[in-house]
C-alpha cells in the first residue's frame, strides 16, 4: 500500500525540521518544501525563511531525514497577499499581523495548490498548536505551553485546517530541540528568529516608508475633544497605546488612542480613553460555526498575540461582522490585529476576526 504523502513546509529552522522528522518516523511519504518569500537586499543580514543559509539548513535537514527537498518561488504571492497588505494597513492607521496573512494565503493557500499537484493530502508546519479531525470537522486547540501559536492559525478556514498537520502539537521548545538532537538534525541548536521575516534590520517602518512614501507626511495631532496640539512626523511612527514622542496638551493627554490614515491624523487622550468595552471585527472566520447562533455567545477573546484571554460575549451580526462585548474593558484595542475567539472553558479556538474599530470610533 502506498504511503500517504505529506508536504512539510521547511523554513530552515528547528521547529519545521523536527515536524518533518516526526512524520518520517510515523511512516509518511514526506516531501520537504522551502518557500522563497522575498529576495533579501542584504543577504548577510537576511532573517529566517529567505536567506541562503536558511535554504541550506532546510536542504541539509531534509538530506539527514532522507526526504526530497525543493525550493519554490512564492515571491509574487507573498508580495501580493502579505507585504502589500502589511504596508497598506500601516498606511491606513492599522496594526497588521503578517504571520496570520502568510498562514492563510501562502502556507495554506499557494502551497496547498502545489500540494494538490503532488497528490499530497496534508501540509505540515512546525507551529505549536493542535488540530483534531473529528466526524464534525477540524478542531483547533491552543498548546499548553508558552510557545502556543494557535492564535496565528485562528483565521484558517475549516477546509484549510482539515489538511493541516502539526506534529509538534503540545511540545515545548526544549522537547523539540531534544528530538532534533535525537534525529541528528544539523539545526538542533539553531537560534530562533523573533523578527518579521521580510523586515531587514528589524525596522518595519523602513519597509512601509519605502513602499508607501505618503506615510512620511506630517499631519495634525489632536486630542479626543478635537483640539489641535501639535504635529506628527508620519503615521507609520505611531501605534495605539503609544506614549512616547507625543506633544503636551492641556488635559494631560499622552497616549495614542486613534490613528486616522485617511486624514493623516493622530488622536491622543488620557490612559482611561484607551479602554474599550467592545469591538467590531470583519473578515470573520468561524472554525466551529455551530457554536454561534443569533444570540450572544460567551467566549474568551485574545485581542493580540500572547494576550491573556479575557471573558466576552460574541455576536455575529446580520451583515456578517463580529460584535464583541468584553466583561471588563480592554486597553489599546488595535484595528488590523486579529481577535481570536476561544471556548470559555477549554483551549479550543472557535474562530477569529480582524479588528475593525471599537464601535465608538
pLDDT value at 31 more than 60: yes
Tens of pLDDT along 162-185? Answer: 999 999 988 999 999 999 999 999
The predicted pLDDT at position 225 comes to 87
- Active-site annotation holder among 49, 50, 99, 102: 102
Q: Which domains does the chain have, with CATH numbers?
A: 5-202 (3.40.50.620), 217-269 (2.30.30.280), 277-357 (2.40.30.10)
Residue 102 a catalytic site member: yes
**Within the chain, what is the greatest distance between any pair of CA atoms?**
77
Q: What is the pLDDT of residue 42?
A: 59
Are 162 and 137 within 8 A, CB to CB? yes
User: CB within 8 A of 225, min separation 6: which ones?
Assistant: 251
3-state SS, residue 329: strand
| pLDDT of 239 | 92
Annotation says 49 is catalytic: no
β-bridge mates for residue 280, sequence order: 323, 357
Q: What are the grid coordinates assigned to 31, written together?
A: 516531501
Contact 114, 65 (CB under 8 A): no
Q: At what angle do helices 52-65 and 14-25 cross, to 10 degrees?
A: 20
Given CA atoms 180, 32, 112, 354 in this order, what sign does their dihedral have? positive
Helix axis angle, 173-182 to 14-25, nearest 10°: 60
- Are 147 and 128 spatial neighbours (Cβ–Cβ below 8 Å)? yes
Count of other CB atoms within 10 angstroms of residue 217: 12
Q: Residues 197-227: pLDDT tens digits?
A: 888 777 888 889 889 988 889 999 999 888 8
pLDDT digits (tens, 9 = 90+) for 182-201: 999 999 999 887 678 888 77
Q: Which residues lie closer than 8 Å to 25 by C-beta, 6 or more apart?
A: none
Choose among 102, 305, 108: nearest CA to 197: 102
Report the 10 Å Cβ neighbour count for 277: 16
Cell of 6: 505529506
Amino acid at each position: 500500500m502506498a504511503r500517504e504523502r505529506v508536504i512539510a513546509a521547511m523554513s530552515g529552522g528547528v521547529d519545521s525540521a523536527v515536524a518533518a522528522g516526526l512524520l518520517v518516523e510515523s511512516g509518511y511519504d514526506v516531501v520537504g518544501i522551502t518557500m522563497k518569500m522575498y529576495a533579501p537586499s542584504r543577504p548577510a543580514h537576511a532573517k529566517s525563511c529567505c536567506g541562503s543559509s536558511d535554504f541550506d539548513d532546510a536542504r541539509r535537514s531534509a538530506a539527514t531525514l532522507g526526504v526530497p527537498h525543493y525550493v519554490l518561488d512564492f515571491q509574487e504571492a507573498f508580495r501580493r497577499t502579505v507585504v502589500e497588505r502589511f504596508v497598506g494597513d500601516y498606511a491606513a492607521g492599522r496594526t497588521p499581523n503578517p504571520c496570520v496573512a502568510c498562514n492563510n494565503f501562502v502556507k495554506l493557500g499557494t502551497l496547498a495548490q502545489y500540494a494538490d499537484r503532488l497528490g499530497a493530502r496534508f501540509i505540515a508546519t512546525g507551529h505549536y498548536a493542535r488540530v483534531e479531525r473529528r466526524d464534525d470537522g477540524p478542531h483547533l486547540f491552543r498548546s499548553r505551553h508558552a510557545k502556543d501559536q494557535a492564535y496565528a492559525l485562528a483565521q484558517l478556514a475549516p477546509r484549510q485546517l482539515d489538511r493541516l498537520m502539526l506534529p509538534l502539537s503540545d511540545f515545548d521548545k526544549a522537547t523539540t530541540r531534544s528530538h532534533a538532537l535525537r534525529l541528528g538534525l544539523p539545526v538542533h541548536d539553531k537560534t530562533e528568529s523573533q523578527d518579521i521575516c521580510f523586515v531587514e534590520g528589524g525596522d518595519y517602518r523602513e519597509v512601509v516608508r519605502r513602499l508607501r512614501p505618503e506615510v512620511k507626511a506630517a499631519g495634525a495631532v489632536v486630542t479626543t475633544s478635537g483640539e489641535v496640539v501639535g504635529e506628527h512626523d508620519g503615521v507609520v511612527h505611531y501605534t495605539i497605546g503609544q506614549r512616547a514622542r507625543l506633544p503636551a496638551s492641556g488635559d494631560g493627554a499622552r497616549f495614542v488612542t486613534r490613528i486616522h490614515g485617511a486624514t493623516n491624523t493622530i488622536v491622543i487622550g488620557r490612559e482611561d480613553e484607551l479602554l474599550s468595552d467592545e469591538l467590531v471585527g470583519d473578515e470573520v472566520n468561524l472554525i466551529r460555526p455551530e457554536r454561534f447562533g443569533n444570540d450572544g455567545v460567551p467566549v474568551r477573546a485574545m485581542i493580540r498575540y500572547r494576550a491573556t484571554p479575557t471573558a466576552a460575549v460574541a455576536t455575529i451580526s446580520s451583515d456578517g461582522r463580529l460584535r464583541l462585548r468584553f466583561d471588563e474593558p480592554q486597553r489599546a484595542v488595535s484595528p488590523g490585529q486579529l481577535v481570536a475567539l476561544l471556548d470559555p472553558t477549554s483551549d479550543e479556538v472557535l474562530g477569529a476576526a480582524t479588528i475593525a474599530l471599537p464601535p465608538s470610533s
